[in-house]
Chain A
Amino acid sequence: DAGVIQSPRHEVTEMGQEVTLRCKPISGHDYLFWYRQTMMRGLELLIYFNNNVPIDDSGMPEDRFSAKMPNASFSTLKIQPSEPRDSAVYFCASSLASRPPQHFGDGTRLSIL
């Protein structure tokens, strides 16, 4: 199995720019999760989808964050405009017919200058 694939692995950009993180879940998995990890706050669930439908987005910090899942094999997390406090490692994860997530990607390390 290819596992959960995230891109890019690293992103450095300036404050105010739009950032798009991408995720390809494991084929056949029906749950997809986006998490954010920082030293201060630990691991936070941002949003999760079931069968491409957003189920719980209460963890999305504010309107600058948005997530989409146009089909079963692709999801994006977008930050517009980005701020330095958004700097973190963002993980995508997927699972089959269950919560919590079974498989995590290796993350995107985002730095906003």
Chain B
Amino acid sequence: AQSVTQLDSHVSVSEGTPVLLRCNYSSSYSPSLFWYVQHPNKGLQLLLKYTSAATLVKGINGFEAEFKKSETSFHLTKPSAHMSDAAEYFCVVSAMNRDDKIIFGKGTRLHILP
């Protein structure tokens, strides 16, 4: 079975400062992990995915995430926030190569302060 916990429901950062959105997972099998972004009144957009290759995964818009098995974490980071990054972010886990359920986290809303 899989589960995913996004540790913060809201995060506020100033424009130009680093972003850290935290995600912890639990999985009985080797996990596949994903981050999605949702802008207001829009569908979700896939930012990046981890599927057992490099543990540091680079995504679109300057985001990256690092898979840390020992910490069961997959935190999303960006060196410098931009106003356009204000959105909701979802961490997702599924079991690699299995048809188990895909589990979405409850989301973290990122606020960018001018």
Contact = CB atoms under 8 A, between A and B. Distances in A.
A95 to B, nearest CB: 9
Given A100-B34, A100-B94, A107 B43 contact: yes
Interface in B53-103: 90, 92, 94, 99, 101-102
Given A42-B106, A43-B104, A55-B99, A105 B43 contact: yes
Contacts of B44: 43, 91, 93, 101, 104
B89 to A, nearest CB: 12
- Of B44, B92, B106, most buried by chain A (CB within 10 Å of CB) is B44
B17 interface: no
Interface residues on A, range: 10 to 19
B46 interface: yes
B104 A42 contact: yes
B102 A99 contact: yes
A106 B41 contact: yes
B31 interface: no
A4 B92 CA distance: 20
B43 A104 contact: yes
A93 B43 contact: yes
B45 A45 contact: no
Interface in A77-113: 91, 93, 99-107
Contacts of A106: 41-43
B3 to A, nearest CB: 13
A45 B90 CA distance: 14
B102 A100 contact: yes
Interface in A18-50: 42-43, 45
Contact of B90 (A4, A43, A102, A105): A43
Contact of A42 (B45, B99, B107): B107
B59 to A, nearest CB: 13
A91 B41 CA distance: 11
Contacts of A99: 94, 99, 102
Interface of B: 34, 41-46, 90, 92, 94, 99, 101-102, 104, 106-107
The 3 closest A-B pairs by CB, nearest first: A104-B43, A100-B102, A104-B44
